[in-house]
Homo-oligomer: A and B are copies of this chain.
């Protein structure tokens, strides 16, 4: 039996990401968001939902660029801090959190060096959804800790240990174990072999 919970964006899992921007004074800023995802392949795009009262909202509009940074579980407390505190209230919050950045290679936004994966994004679309703007950025380049990239070019997910956000309980979780290969474990159904 199902129970109705009322309307909310109840998706599992969500990522716990940092969105990096430069403020008008040139200081790097980053905020945490779980409301984000991949949007397209050609061009590669990702989207992030940002409230208008966040410094990030102004910064993305001003510089038309942002980074998406994928933290590991070890960074959980700092990610949480960067979600709680707005750059409008604490302009130097990255220094306070002991977070380091470097300029993007292609766009006017900072890479969060503490995160093992950084996406450089150029603003492509802004969708006004009332309480949030959904900013869709074209991914221009992806940086990854070289220790996480295998000889086959694939990312070592267990070593990455990405941070997972679980809505409703409002908790961060870690990843567990592999369940199966995509584009593979469903093939037996496609051919009818398992019917």
Contacts and interface: CB of A to CB of B under 8 A. Distances in A.
Contacts of A45: 9, 129, 134
A11 B83 contact: no
Interface of A: 1-15, 17, 34-47, 49, 68, 70, 73, 76-85, 90, 96-97, 105, 111, 117-119, 124-125, 127, 129-132, 134, 136, 138-146, 149, 153-155, 157, 160, 162-190, 192, 195
Given A7-B141, A175-B173, A180-B76, A38 B49 contact: yes
Contact of A77 (B39, B96, B177, B185): B185
Contacts of A134: 39-40, 45, 47, 136
B131 A40 contact: yes
Contacts of A157: 12, 166, 168-169, 171, 173
A81 B190 contact: yes
B185 A13 contact: no
27 contacts: A2-B111, A5-B143, A5-B144, A6-B142, A7-B43, A7-B139, A10-B119, A10-B142, A10-B155, A11-B17, A11-B36, A13-B15, A35-B39, A37-B47, A39-B47, A40-B49, A41-B131, A41-B132, A76-B179, A79-B186, A80-B182, A125-B127, A129-B136, A155-B169, A171-B179, A171-B180, A175-B175
